Chains A and B, each alone.
Chain A
């Protein structure tokens, strides 16, 4: 892709020759949405950007995903704030694509629409008894402790058992494990939702199992998150010594990936010496080479999970020598772990909206570097002009906040190409935000503008200061809307 400098130079030529403003709607105010808005506003003086979000609060997973004990990660919000303050940018909170306004309507009102509405659903394991109570998607649990209004009443049972099993070993799994195991006094100083803090205070969970299909070389977490959880005070860490032994194929994987090497090294050094658990101490068990086979129902609480059956696995190399990939295959040997809480952290998945091409298998919008591909079933690839994607909806649910910056640059280079060849200009000026406002008014949608979020922000900080927390999140729809519309 071309660099930004170039885009900007082209942009200047463009803005002097064009008289009518180009109106672009960005759907979703997470990192992908905000980076897209920022780069568009910077590149084109004649562009107006409206960002809509289904929540009254902006910033997507930076608010509702990033762990409460990671305040420094949330500092990026300052940068997004500066974008929202740009006079050519407007925020429409509490406006949901699909229910408040349709995709077709947005496309008629704007020269271009960039979809950046993330991934708000989950992959399922597809194993028996997955519907038992006490089994949650990590996404729901994270939303719950981060005060997302959709999970305010999740009320996970943390009291009837001392064991939680987390399926998956990625960073989200580690976040969730850390929240369950970390000292409550430390959590109390964060912006964790108060209902979650109260429940965690009374939690009887002492043991957390992190289960992965493959070995420590293939664990999907990063060194930073791993280092952090291993550093929790008074925590016993358990890994079977045999699991840490590497094969020649593992050595190749580690040679090719610095991150895999460093993660393996951390895990190797992490094991608590002496092996026998100390009474009362919290325990973290890394369980490698196991895949979920079925959930087991509790004997004393019908309809509730009481454990999980895991199948032992072995790694098998696929692909050629150069890029060998090791996959887990079942061995037919099983093992049960009893637990009262199970959290599935096996991946997020995006949701489709009406009128949008969607790849249900990958859970993303089919796209070519950010240009949405119109139905490809007819055999030839065709771009849907004026419709773009960015972020998790475009690439799938991987990558850190910064990844979305590069992702946005890629999408914008496509938009720039289309602008420069005149594909987005229409004969007449598009109605943009005025049109959107009219449609939302006619439907009695309570739009939360950016200063409505300002009121929420202010109130949350005020309540937080009373409790020595950076903020006390408003976690119900009623409260959020009430404060925003004061």
Chain B
């Protein structure tokens, strides 16, 4: 309590200082109770029975898209993400282990994800120079790598699959090449 106040003040000061930072307030989304199982169950229901779904459910679902995260072990988590929310926030709200050291201010590459389907990747707008600068430093970079904080849910991305790279495997086995600093 004592500290969380400092901590909030801190972020506030930083946000004011760096206007360029694209921090999105997490409080703008009501916390949801999607857990892993609920998420995947709902998803299946939605995919196979869209026609029968009642209209009320439809409007609710309209503003959310399906996103599938594949973790380092290849285990899948299906979640629903409101349009406008970043994949970093979505992961955190759903207890998916995606790091976000700089909290979405484009100052680290810890939320690196790999878009598993090239067609989905192509629907995203081009990464900015700043995002590319950070991707340079990401572990296990691939052709379809992006930062989770820069992928914002939009209807066209429904069903997007994101892999969280097994960075540790690169680190230990593939011969870690230190990045300068």
Contact = CB atoms under 8 A, between A and B. Distances in A.
Contact of B6 (A74, A222, A402, A461): A461
A407 interface: yes
Nearest to B13: A470
A233 interface: no
A72 B180 contact: no
Contacts of A222: 133, 136-137, 179-181
B177 to A, nearest CB: 9
B94 interface: no
Interface of B: 2-4, 6-7, 9-11, 13-14, 17-18, 21, 71-73, 75, 97, 99, 101-103, 105-110, 129-130, 132-134, 136-137, 139, 141, 166-169, 171-172, 176, 178-181
12 contacts: A3-B166, A70-B107, A71-B14, A75-B103, A222-B133, A222-B136, A224-B133, A400-B109, A401-B101, A406-B139, A458-B6, A464-B13
Contact of A77 (B10, B71, B178): B10
Contact of B71 (A1, A5, A75, A395): A5
A71 B18 contact: yes
A220 B180 CA distance: 6
Contacts of B133: 222-224, 227, 262
A227 B3 contact: no
Nearest to A451: B2
Interface in A171-191: 171-172, 189-190
Given A78-B7, A224-B130, A400 B14 contact: no
Contacts of B71: 3, 5
A78 B110 contact: no
B109 A402 contact: yes
B172 A410 contact: yes
A75 B6 contact: no
Contacts of A74: 14
Contact of B181 (A81, A171, A405): A171
A259 interface: yes
Given A1-B169, A5-B71, 20 more contacts: A3-B73, A3-B166, A6-B73, A71-B17, A72-B18, A72-B21, A75-B14, A75-B105, A77-B7, A78-B7, A78-B10, A171-B181, A220-B180, A222-B133, A224-B134, A227-B129, A399-B178, A399-B181, A406-B167, A461-B13
A290 interface: no
Interface in A44-74: 70-74
**10 shortest A-B CB distances, which residue pairs?**
A398-B178, A72-B105, A224-B133, A72-B107, A220-B180, A76-B101, A470-B13, A71-B14, A259-B136, A3-B72
B170 to A, nearest CB: 8
A136 to B, nearest CB: 19
A450 B171 CA distance: 32
Contacts of A221: 180
A409 interface: yes
Output the residue of B109, B130, B132, B179 with the most chain A CB within 10 A: B179
Contacts of A397: 181
Assign chain A's interface to a size class.
35 or more
Contacts of B171: 1, 406-407, 409-410
Contact of A398 (B17, B101, B181): B181
B98 to A, nearest CB: 12
Given A400-B137, A470-B13, A75 B178 contact: no
A405 B164 CA distance: 14
A470 B17 contact: yes
A477 interface: no
Contacts of A224: 130, 133-134, 136
B150 to A, nearest CB: 14
Nearest to B178: A398
Contact of B73 (A5, A395, A406): A5
Interface string A1-42: 101111000000000000000000000000000000000000
A272 interface: no
Contacts of B130: 224, 227
Contacts of A407: 171
A223 B103 contact: no
A76 B99 CA distance: 10
Nearest to A65: B181
Given A227-B133, A470-B14, A81 B7 contact: yes
Nearest to A168: B180
A58 B58 CA distance: 50
B136 A454 contact: no
A72 B107 CA distance: 6
B7 A73 contact: no
A73 B172 contact: no
Contact of B179 (A400, A451, A464): A400
A438 interface: no
B180 to A, nearest CB: 4
A95 B82 CA distance: 47
A171 B178 CA distance: 13
Contacts of B132: 223, 262
A84 B134 CA distance: 28
A421 interface: no
A409 B168 contact: yes
Nearest to B137: A400
Given A78-B11, A222-B136, A402-B108, A410 B168 contact: yes
Given A5-B73, A189-B17, A406-B167, A262 B136 contact: yes
A268 interface: no
A464 B9 CA distance: 12
Contacts of A331: none
Contacts of B18: 71-72
A380 interface: no
Nearest to A76: B101
A369 interface: yes
